[in-house]
Amino acid sequence: MDNQMPKTKKGMISRRGFLKLSAAAAAAAVSTDPSRVLHALVTADTGTVNHQNRSIFSACDMCFNKCGLIARVQDGVLKKLDPNPHSMKSRGMLCARGNAGVRQLYDADRLKYPLLRKGGRGQGKWQRLTWDQALDLCAEQMDRIGREYTRCGFLFMAGTDMQSTFVHRLAAVYGSYNVISHESNCLLSRNRAFLDTYGVVPTADVLNSKYVVMPGANRFEALVTPDSIDLMTAIRNDCKLVVLDPRFTKTAAHAHEWYPIKPGTDMAFFLAVAHVLITEDLFDNEFVAAKTHGIEPLSAHVQQYTPEWAALETEIPARDIRRIAREMAAAAPRAMVYPGRRSSDYKDSTQIRRSYAIVNALLGNWDREGGLIVPPKIKTGTIPFEEPFFDDNPEDRVDAGRAQMMFDEEGSFKHTRDAVIEGKPYPVKGWFTYKTNPMQTGANRQKTMQMIDQLDFMVSVDITMSDTAWMADLVLPAPSYLERQDPVSAFMASSTCSGVITRDPIVPPMFESKPVFWITKELAKRLDLAEHFNFTIDDFRKAQLKDLPEVATALEKEGVYNVVGPTHGLHEGKRFRTRSGKIELFNARYMDHGIDPMPVYTPPAAVPQNRFRIVVGRNAYITQSASTNNSLLWELEQENSLWIHPDPARRLGIRNGEKVTVESRAGSDVLKALVTEKTRPDTVYMDTGFGAISKGLSKIFGKGACIAEVLEDYADAVSGNMAMHETLVTVSRVA
């Protein structure tokens, strides 16, 4: 596309040139080259003649990373999003999804006004309401459910967002402690494991590492800034990357070594690594003696886990396991097992991640360059509020006791859903969802529908008619991240780039959309709780930055505040926030809860011939369920396919591109087969975010398959995190 750009003498594009360019973009949109399309549509430099141009700092929200951006606005219209070079976290990057944010804003499928369901659920009959009608109705239902059942009979669920805090505030002052988020479908078991080993969840100093073993993470497609960028830099600086993944991902493609590990056996690999480090005395003796608790029981425990034994479990040769352990020890402390992010995979995910945490401890990489670090995070202020007490409320959350050590403030989507369906220990009859789409991201879609069937009232706040909104009684339109003012958000990232970022409107809210802050405030008014929302977002931000004037200045000048300074050696001599005050190789608290104090390996269920384990993952241009209907990104993938290895495909008579049925005990769906050696013969895979049931998603309605329909719902025993890789499926040709 670049060489076709019509340019004036000064290198600027003329107005006529821009018109031509738009035509080129339109032409490219119907061409078959997807990268050409993305390129053409997002690089319109329209010159300066007679236009009102403005550049505004903001933070991308196409995924949770909050990459710094600069929005280019012309005559009140957003033309282009550019990376903000000041953001150390995103290191001058805006990915394909970030660029496509323009289309999030100007999408024909945007929700435009409040809608009330008419007719049966999922029939798609809606009546337009005014905001007053919608808010009155919602408040009435909240009030009624609170009185007829209890305050805890109303469930609140908010996804990743800088305004989710207001949904939590509403839940708290309304009096419900049934609050959940996407996190129990994402990373709680990883957090549990690292918290219970180190007393804190660290981040990884990938940039300065010399040896990274990356199990079950896909940093070059599942983008996490700055790690994705830093990993590339580290490789250029001679860092060795070893990837364990049943699929040949883009990360595997850039690795020095890739092992298509048998799914569900990572713990065997790391227990064997621990075995080698201990029996060959390669671990950091001084560090382990000074800072860890339980090396003796651990030494005895890992005796049984030899590389030869692990080879049979993992299908990775024993000599490679032994060599990798020795190489890691030689590179330590600049060597790590990457802690990873999404850990919603197995029933023993906390223990699997504990095995990663323990190997890191043996390498002595804690608080050291190229190891696991905890950089300082800025503490922002808030506007405090008092939680009222309701004496008729139940004792506990509705999902309490269903996992061994659930995070009280997070709970578990899976267990909450079960509890609502069972009506036990008490009825939950209302549901408020904000910016989250469990119909696509909660394994076992049929069960989510059963849960919704139990409800008297469900309200969904979204920017489009997501599958979840499609099931609701009341749908409320929200402005996208490019139209709203948000509080500030402090983040912790690795490699000297913790920081603070915020968001101001790039353009005014489209249609009748209203931010969830305003919605919660209006509901609070109607519920006699106005005193808890007696402020504006501006006031809230001021309170957040009250003691941080330098942050306020940086946000104004550069759109981001970076914490620059050392990131390691910061915790020397400090007590770990664990029971023993040390890093817990052996966790005595677990014993009190009936949990193995050290990870004990149990093999995953065997996969019979002609059945497959189905696994979840990502590619670089899809964000879970939230971007597949974006017209620009949709050009890159219009429906998903089932990855299946050529051997079983041959056996089952399935040819590339043919339609297949994927079936589990949870459900079945139909999609095209992609016959590829990029997955193991016993493992199948599909992208998330297709097979939509909502007719409001015009591009992906009925296109491809919905993986949540097929995934059975299991949970990690310790944390209650959803376990999405336990499902076995059959695959057959559609006749």
Ligand X SMILES: Nc1nc2c(c(=O)[nH]1)N[C@H]1C(S)=C(S)[C@@H](COP(=O)(O)OP(=O)(O)OC[C@H]3O[C@@H](n4cnc5c(=O)[nH]c(N)nc54)[C@H](O)[C@@H]3O)O[C@H]1N2
The contact set with ligand SF4 (CB under 6 A) reads 60, 62-63, 65-67, 90, 94-95, 97-98, 223, 225
Judged by beta carbon distances under 5 to 8 A according to partner kind, the member of ligand X, ligand SF4, Mo ion, none in contact with residue 461 is ligand X
Q: How far is the CB of 563 from ligand X (least distance, A)?
A: 22
For ligand X, the binding residues in 587-646 under the rule CB under 6 A are 615-618, 620, 622-626
Nearby residues of 97 by Cβ (< 8 Å), 6 or more positions away: 60, 62, 63, 620, 621, 622, 623, 627, 630, 633
Q: How far is the CB of 75 from Mo ion (least distance, A)?
A: 38
Distance separating alpha carbons of residues 28 and 634, to the nearest angstrom? 14
Mutual orientation of helices 164-174 and 516-526 as an angle, nearest 10°? Answer: 10
d(CA 496, CA 302): 36
Extract the tokens encoding 28: 């490219």
At its nearest, how many Å lie between ligand SF4 and the CB of residue 491? 11
# residues near ligand X by CB under 6 A: 58
> Counting contacts by CB under 6 A, is residue 321 touching ligand X?
no
Binding region for ligand X (CB under 6 A) out of 275-283, 336-344, 360-368, 451-459: 336-344
* Nearer to ligand SF4 (CB atom), residue 97 or residue 247: 97
Kindly write down the DSSP assignment for every residue of 3-17, as one continuous string.
Answer: GG----TTSPPPHHH
Work out whether the CA dihedral 699, 705, 710, 714 comes out positive or negative.
negative
Stretch of 28-36, 396-404, 435-443, 540-548 contacting ligand X, by CB under 6 A: 435-443
- Nearest-angstrom CA–CA distance, 657 and 672: 5
Number of residues that bind Mo ion (CB under 5 A): 2
Please report how close the Cβ of residue 255 comes to Mo ion at its closest, in angstroms: 22
Determine contact, residues 221/383, Cβ cutoff 8 Å: no
- Could you give the CA distance from residue 584 to residue 590 in angstroms, rounded to a whole number? 11
Q: Which does 218 bind (CB under 5 to 8 A by kind): ligand X, ligand SF4, Mo ion, none?
A: ligand X
CA 105 from centroid of its chain's CA atoms: 21
Q: How far is the CB of 617 from ligand X (least distance, A)?
A: 3
The interface with ligand X within residues 63-92 (CB under 6 A) comprises 63-64
Task: Please state, in angstroms and rounded to a whole number, the distance separating the CA atoms of residues 239 and 11.
Answer: 40
Q: Which of 246, 307, 411, 487 binds ligand X (CB under 6 A)?
A: 246
DSSP letter for each residue of 1-57? -GGG----TTSPPPHHHHHHHHHHHHHHHHSS-HHHHHHHHH------TT--EEEEE
Which entry of ligand X, Mo ion, ligand SF4, none binds 671, CB below 5 to 8 A by partner kind?
Answer: none
Which residues fall within 8 angstroms of residue 661, CB to CB, at 6 or more apart?
A: 668, 669, 670, 731, 732, 733, 734
Kindly state the smallest distance separating residue 87's Cβ from ligand SF4, in Å.
9
How far apart CA 142 and CA 244 sit, in angstroms, is: 48
Residue that is written with structure tokens 């990502």 in the block? 618
Q: Which of 217, 471, 551, 560 binds ligand X (CB under 6 A)?
A: 217
Applying the rule CB under 6 A, the residues between 362 and 421 that interact with ligand X are none
Dist CA 227 CA 219 (whole Å): 7
Q: Which residues pair with 671 in a beta bridge?
A: 660
Query: Binding marks (x or -) toward ligand X, 127..166, rule CB under 6 A?
Result: --------------------------------x-------
- DSSP structure class, residue 287: H
User: Binder to ligand X among 229, 378, 463, 717 (CB under 6 A)?
Assistant: 463
CB of 352 to ligand X, least distance (A): 8
Instruction: Identify the residue among 203, 436, 489, 661 touching ligand X (CB under 6 A).
Output: 436
Which residue among 340, 364, 430, 720 contacts ligand X (CB under 6 A)?
A: 340
Q: Is 545 in the site for Mo ion (CB under 5 A)?
A: no
Q: Which does 626 bind (CB under 5 to 8 A by kind): Mo ion, ligand SF4, ligand X, none?
A: ligand X
Using an 8 Å Cβ cutoff, are 206 and 234 in contact? yes
380, interface contact from ligand SF4, Mo ion, ligand X, none, CB < 5-8 Å by kind: none
Tell me the C-alpha to C-alpha distance, in Å, between residue 249 and each of 619, 638, 662, 671: 9, 20, 22, 21
The dihedral through the CA atoms of 396, 398, 399, 401 has a sign that is: positive
Q: Residues 164, 249, 351, 664: which binds ligand X (CB under 6 A)?
A: 249
Closest by CA position to 3, among listed 27, 30, 33, 24:
24
What is the nearest approach in angstroms of ligand SF4 to the Cβ of residue 225? 6
186 vs 642, which CB is nearer to Mo ion? 186
Task: Sort strands 583-584 and 641-644 into parallel, antiparallel or unpaired.
Answer: unpaired
Residue selected from 134, 186, 642, 722 as contacting Mo ion according to rule CB under 5 A: 186
Q: Which does 230 bind (CB under 5 to 8 A by kind): ligand X, ligand SF4, Mo ion, none?
A: none
Helix (H) or strand (E) holding 562: strand 560-563
Phi and psi (nearest 5°) for 483?
Answer: -120, 0
User: Considering CB distances under 5 to 8 angstroms, the limit depending on partner class, which of ligand SF4, Mo ion, ligand X, none binds residue 67?
Assistant: ligand SF4
Instruction: Closer to ligand SF4 by CB, 63 or 272: give it.
Output: 63
Q: Does 105 bind ligand X (CB under 6 A)?
A: no
Instruction: Report the residue number, 97 or 618, with the smaller CB distance to ligand SF4.
Output: 97
348 is an interface residue for ligand X by CB under 6 A: no
**Other CB atoms closer than 10 Å to residue 408's CB: what's the count?**
10
461 is a site residue for ligand X (CB under 6 A) = yes
**Which one of 20, 121, 341, 672 is in contact with ligand X (CB under 6 A)?**
341
**Which residue minimizes CB distance to ligand SF4?**
98
Which CB atom, from 625 or from 661, has the smaller least distance to ligand X?
A: 625
CB of 98 to ligand SF4, least distance (A): 3
Question: Of 723, 703, 222, 697, nearest to 444 (Cα)?
Answer: 723
State the binding partner of 174 from ligand SF4, Mo ion, ligand X, none, CB within 5 to 8 A by kind: none
Please report where in the chains the tokens 């057959």 appear, as a residue: 732
Residue 207 and residue 234: Cα distance in Å, rounded? 5
Rg of the chain taking only CA atoms, in angstroms:
26
Which lies closer to ligand SF4 via its Cβ, residue 416 or residue 627? 627
* Residues that bind ligand X in the complex, under the rule CB under 6 A: 63-64, 159, 182, 185-187, 215-218, 221-224, 244-247, 249, 261, 263-264, 266, 340-342, 344-345, 434-438, 440-441, 461-464, 466, 478, 480-481, 615-618, 620, 622-626, 688, 707-708, 725
* Residues that bind Mo ion in the complex, under the rule CB under 5 A: 186, 342
